[in-house]
Structure 1
Amino acid sequence: MRGGAPAVRATPNVAVIVGTRPEVIKMAPVVRALRASTSVTCTVVSTGQHRDLLVRAFEDVGLVPDIELSLMTENQSPSAFVARCITALDDVFAQNKPQAVLVQGDTSSACAGAMAATWRSIPVGHVEAGLRSFNFQEPFPEEFHRRVVGVAAQWHFAPTPESRDNLLREGVPMHRIFMTGNTIVDAVKQMDVSRPFENRLLDAVPEGRLALVTAHRRENQGESMRDIARAVKRLVAAVADLQVVLPLHPNPNVRGLFQQELGDTPRVHLLEPLSYPDLLKVLHKSTIILSDSGGLQEEAPSVGRPILILRERTERPEVVQVGAGILVGTDPDLIVKEALSILCDPVVYERMVTVPNPFGDGKASARITEILESSLCEEADLPVMSMVL
């Protein structure tokens, strides 16, 4: 037996990759939990995929990235960004040598992070694993991205039973799937919405029923988005006390269309993108949400508000299955019909806002952290929290 003190084990490091505002918001609770851990450390890497929105997103959640890559360029294509991102992340991994890489969802940054880590033989954890639309074109390129990450991942952190079952059907071994809930619920619960609105224009929105409307998806741009605007105009004409808050997406094609179609419509408030605290405050004040956003499909039931999903299909069918949302696409007649049903029938409204949240209990980040601690620390004897849904 050799003498001397036992070797000191290095604390495992987890590299957390983010590049867009939704990633920052959804990964913030995970980063906080990892940084509070005594068993692992955490390095936050920002790719700068959506540079203009990222600075504000980090401020909203009170985090600062450890490494900033600033890879965004004007009019970037997904393929060009992914190529730059893989090269840059490969350098980061070579220098920092993380023991695990954590990516979230279905962005170009997540796809590049998973690929770069795999080529460095670094295990990948996928937060929000198993979502599927089963159509590579809707949403594009997100459905492709999440499939690529799914192939690379060692830990699949599935938010719901539906997403877990999708992974099982694809042949992912059960022992690599962990049903954790969705970290968006953690983020919503952790955000302080007691502060005044930062955007003072929101204080000028008159009292009454409020509809939050957002639209930006690539597959909706053009005539479909014009149909959404027409539906909004018809709704405010039909409901005398309805106010509409519509934050404009930075994409000039999207904002230009809504400014053209709704710029002079009474009771429609076209605003610049909202900070996350302001968005959640508007959500809490809203009577109804109309959106093609994936995140708002999760946030709406998390604050008990009904949502009309402005898409033809969704990779989050749970919100429809439990009755918290309705898939309406961009048909103006259907949008108006379903919105009026919610706004004018108290029974319909009450039924939609009292269903249980299908996305979990707000403890997903703690579960993810415990699973990583247990997996990365050979000597750890830590209980792994289970999620019952």
Structure 2
Amino acid sequence: MQPPYKVMFLFGTRAEVLKLAPIIRLMHRDPDKWQAVLVATAQSDSRLLNDTLEYLRFHVDFSVDSSGIANTNEVDQLSQLLHNLNNVVNAGQPDMVLIAGDATTSLAASLISFYHRIPLGHVEAGLRTYNQYSPFPDEMHRRLTDDLATLYFAPTTGARDNLLQEHHPAERVYVTGNTSIDSVECNLQADFKHPLLQSIAADHRILLMTMRRKDNLGSPMKRVFHTVRDIIETNKDVELIFPVYPHPEEVALADEILDGHERIHLTHPLNHHDFLNIAARSSILLTDSGGLQEEAPALHKPVLLLRDETERQEAVDLGCVKVVGTNPTTIQQAVFELLNDEKAYRQMVQADSPFGDGNASKRILQIIKKFLENKKD
């Protein structure tokens, strides 16, 4: 097989395209060797994904008709995506398909790649909780995707060990680090300014919160919002920044519980550059996301995880992340400790990041190149 190699990137969420972006950029710099084909499904919020693509300055080659997908259940999403992605792969005829993470698009892409006998590379392979319903449906999406993958790009040695224990072929499993770390350093800006930061007193501490998982909607989210408001009201030098995900229930709860307080700042989702720079200037990060568990240790910021389990256990073991779930008492105690115990705070921010050195995308590209060079037509 001769270059340029055609690699099809499939993504349906903002998180997926951000993890694939460093690899796509490297391919764009070397058009004699690579042809990156970008396929967007917008399986969640299409506006958020489109804003992210515009921020990244990426041109999409195939935009899958996603009308109605975001508001359907997982079964209907998967059914529609399988049909649409089958047409895309037929039209694109890639040498390899590359996906990231555990969203429904990744599972659909892995099935289509298998049926077409096209090699599949899985970025961020091997993460596990071994609880099939937590996180739901991500845990099983990731396991099923790994069962169908050809190349496994494990972010950590722990993820590699999971894959080997499941009897995936050792010669196809690579520890690369996480591509999300590749984007951190290049996005940090020493003279960064933002209206949100300018509205906060210089001697005040910032809590930055993200919360958007489906399994946290409803009562868990209500508990967290009330708890965070109590924390702000009882700590006069602490302010909250909360980029609200555009889900109707989340917006309604944020407006009902958090709006109207002078030290609580609700905002639309931020682009990745602004978010990372605000995170770098925050004191504590509260989140139920996966990506921020990876980025925060590189920023030397403590993370309180608003989930009961994590598939990124290395960060917990090293002390970068503390699992607090959605229990009000647990959250309050953890925040109080970090606000008032300098030693506890220092232990979290000085912990080493387990997610790589910022060169994951280069390693992945080298592995793909070697694989395709050795692949017979």
Name the TM-score, length of structure 1 as normaliser.
0.91
Aligned residue for 2:152? 156
Instruction: Indicate the SS of the match to 2:153.
Output: strand
C-alpha distance after superposition, 1:108-163 (max 9, x if no partner):
11111111111101010000000112122211111121111101101000000111
Structure 2: tracts of 5 or more residues without a match: none
* Structure 1: distance between partners of 2:244 and 2:3: 47
Change (3 A) 1:234 1:128: same
Equivalent residue, structure 2, for 1:21? 14
Residue identity opposite 1:44 in structure 2: L
Question: Could you tell me which residue of structure 1 aligns to residue 71 of structure 2?
Answer: 75
Kindly report the root-mean-square deviation, in angstroms, between the aligned alpha carbons of the 2 structures.
Answer: 1.8
* Match of residue 256, structure 1, among 252, 259, 262: 252
Give the number of aligned pairs.
372
**Residue in 2 aligned with 1:268?**
264
| CA distance in 2 between partners of 1:224 and 1:234 (Å) | 16
Cα deviation 1:152-211 (Å, max 9, x = unaligned): 10100000011111111111111110100000001222325457556x344323321100
1:145 and 1:58 map into 2 onto residues whose CA distance is 24
* CA separation of 1:10 and 1:339: change in aligned 2, threshold 3 A: closer
User: Is the 2:324–2:331 Cα contact (8 Å) retained in structure 1?
Assistant: yes
Q: Give the aligned residue type for 2:56.
A: V
Partner of 1:357: 353
2:33 to 35, 39, 64: 39
CA contact (8 A) 1:51 1:70 kept: no
> Residues 206-257 of structure 1: CA distance to partner in whole angstroms, max 9, x if unpaired?
3211000111212211111111112212211332200110111111111211
Structure 2 match to 1:139: 135
**Does the Cα contact within 8 Å between 2:178 and 2:355 map onto a contact in 1?**
yes
Contact 1:193 1:278 in 2 (8 A): no
**Contact 1:29–1:183, Cα closer than 8 Å, also in 2:** yes
Structure 1 gap segments, 5+ residues each: 1-7, 381-389
Residue 205 of structure 1 aligns to a residue whose secondary structure is coil
Fraction of identical pairs, as percent: 35
User: Mean Cα displacement is larger for which, 31-40 or 157-166?
Assistant: 31-40
Superimposed CA distance per residue, residues 24-49 of structure 1 (whole angstroms, 9 cap, x where no aligned partner): 11110011122334433221111122
Structure 1: which 4+ aligned runs deviate by more than 6 Å? none
Letter in 1 for 2:287: S
Alignment of 1:218-237 (within 5 A): 218-237=214-233
What residue number does 2:292 align with?
Answer: 296
Question: Any idea what SS the aligned residue of 1:117 has?
Answer: helix
Query: What is the DSSP-based 3-state SS (H/G/I as helix, E as strand, rest coil) of the residue aligned with 1:102?
Result: strand
Contact 1:72 / 1:81 at 8 angstroms: preserved in 2? no
Deviations 1:248-307 (A, max 9, x none): 111111121121111133411111111211111110110000111111111111211001
Correspondence list, 1:1-389, <5 A: 9=2, 11-37=4-30, 38-49=32-43, 50-73=45-68, 75-191=71-187, 193=189, 200-207=195-202, 208-378=204-374
Tell me how far apart the structure 2 counterparts of residues 125 and 9 of structure 1 sit (CA, whole Å): 19
Q: Contact between 1:212 and 1:286, CA under 8 Å: does it hold in 2? A: yes
Partners of 2:250 and 2:124 lie apart in 1 by 27
Q: Is the contact between residue 132 and residue 143 of structure 1 (CA under 8 Å) also seen in structure 2?
A: yes
SS of residue in 1 equivalent to 2:183: helix
Rg larger for: 1
User: Which SS does the other structure have where 2:171 is aligned?
Assistant: helix
Aligned to 1:377, the other structure's residue is in SS state: helix
Distance 1:352 1:327 in 2: 13
In structure 2, do the counterparts of structure 1 residues 9 and 245 end up closer, same or farther at CA, with 3 Å as the change threshold? closer
AA in 2 matched with 1:243: E
CA contact (8 A) 2:101 2:125 kept: yes
**1:85·1:112 contact (CA, 8 Å) conserved in 2?**
yes
Residue type of the partner of 1:292?
Answer: D
Judge conservation of contact 1:158–1:181 (CA < 8 Å) in 2: yes
